[in-house]
Amino acid sequence: MRRRIRARRRQRVAAFRRAAAPVDNGALTVTLDGVHPMLQGSSILVTGGTGSFGQAFVPLTLARFNPRRLVVYSRDEIKQWEMARTYGRDARVRFFIGDVRDRERLYRALDGVDHVVHAAAAKIVPTAEYNPFECVKTNVLGAMNLIDACIDKGVKRVVALSTDKASSPVNLYGATKLVSDKLFVSGNAYAGDHDTRFAVVRYGNVMGSRGSVIPLFLSLAHRGRLPITDPRMTRFMVSLEQGVEMVWQAFADMQGGETYVRKVPSMRLVDIARAVAPDAEHRIIGIRPGEKLHEQMVGAEDSKFAYEYDGHYKILPATADRSTDGARVKGGRKVPEGFVYASDTNTEWLAIEALRAWIDANRDRIGALPAGDG
């Protein structure tokens, strides 16, 4: 146990060092300059804060913005205990055991909080299919609880994390996250005269997180054979640092109701396999229930309200005149009608050599970060 805790501490130190400078691995560049210091000295709460996003957001945000208080709100006491040991006596970091399903606990946790990142979710696709009521309780009812609590407690800004699976969903998890996204977008009108503002950040599967394809391939590489669902399959390649930076930018840019989508490279699944084990044989096993051949983050239906920027897309709310509001557009270029941002038609592709370099640089972290909500 002590050895594992020491290893986690070393990972946190490395994360603090990465926060001070850009992370450059070819197409996986994270530029941390120019982010508005809105979070400086503020009080921040992260729901699901012991999950994969929170494990990256907490050290990076502490190093970058030095918030007055950073509250980790999650239901997993073991992950909280381990995370608390990691941060030792850092008085800025607080821990709250709680569930987004528990409305009263949220109200207590949000006392004095300025900004909220909503990362808690039930997100394992097969589990959601077999336990649909539980998925709805967390992803939909939990979102409703948080929206009400943030408005009533006077939280200034809320950024909710979404997923590529919420764009034209084909499984229950994606459907619940689409409902959640719409709740947060509509929360700006629901807030009435209150000052609370809501926005959404959407990104795909996180590279190297536990249960994802890269650690799976690494664990099987010694066998000389890797399972491939479909040789045509493509995936977006996003790092946790990129997800964190997009959240920071959303806080600085948002007027309320926007959905932010970071531009990231794509890869074919067979090329990911070649990056991990160049000489391994590929065994085709077929697509699993609820799985897409290609990932999508901006659908054709969103294109009427979507704008392009140098590093991201922004989908504006369709209600009233907000989709053409200059304060929200901010110099964006309107995408063509029918535009789709999907992993198979992406204009940016990650080379096998670049992914191999990323794996070598992050080998000690791959598979260590939890894939769940914390």
CA dist., res. 164 & res. 178, Å (int)? 10
373 within a domain of the structure (yes/no): no
Q: Which residues are catalytic?
A: 165
What is the span of the domain harbouring residue 260?
2-361
369 within a domain of the structure (yes/no): no
374 within a domain of the structure (yes/no): no
**Digits of tens for pLDDT over the chain (374 positions)?**
445 545 544 544 344 334 333 333 334 444 444 556 789 999 999 999 999 899 999 999 999 999 999 999 999 999 999 999 999 889 999 999 999 999 999 999 999 999 999 999 998 888 999 999 999 999 999 999 999 999 999 999 999 999 999 999 999 999 999 999 999 999 999 999 999 999 999 998 788 877 789 999 999 999 999 999 999 999 999 998 999 999 999 999 999 999 999 999 999 999 999 999 999 999 999 998 888 999 999 999 999 999 999 999 999 998 766 667 788 999 999 999 999 999 999 999 999 999 999 999 988 878 655 554 55
3-state secondary structure 16-79: HHHHCCCECCCCCCECCCCCCHHHCCCEEEEECCCCHHHHHHHHHHHHHHCCCEEEEEECCHHH
Alpha helices in the chain (DSSP H): 2-19, 52-65, 77-87, 103-109, 125-130, 132-136, 142-152, 172-190, 213-220, 240-253, 269-276, 326-329, 352-361
Interacting residues of 38 by C-beta distance below 8 A, sequence separation 6+: 115, 157, 251, 252
Q: What is the CATH classification number for the domain harbouring 126?
A: 3.40.50.720
Residue reference for tokens 């990911």: 272
At 23 the pLDDT is 38
61 within a domain of the structure (yes/no): yes
User: Structural domain tally of the chain?
Assistant: 1
Q: Which two tokens stand for residue 166?
A: 């919420």
Whole-prediction pTM value? Answer: 0.88
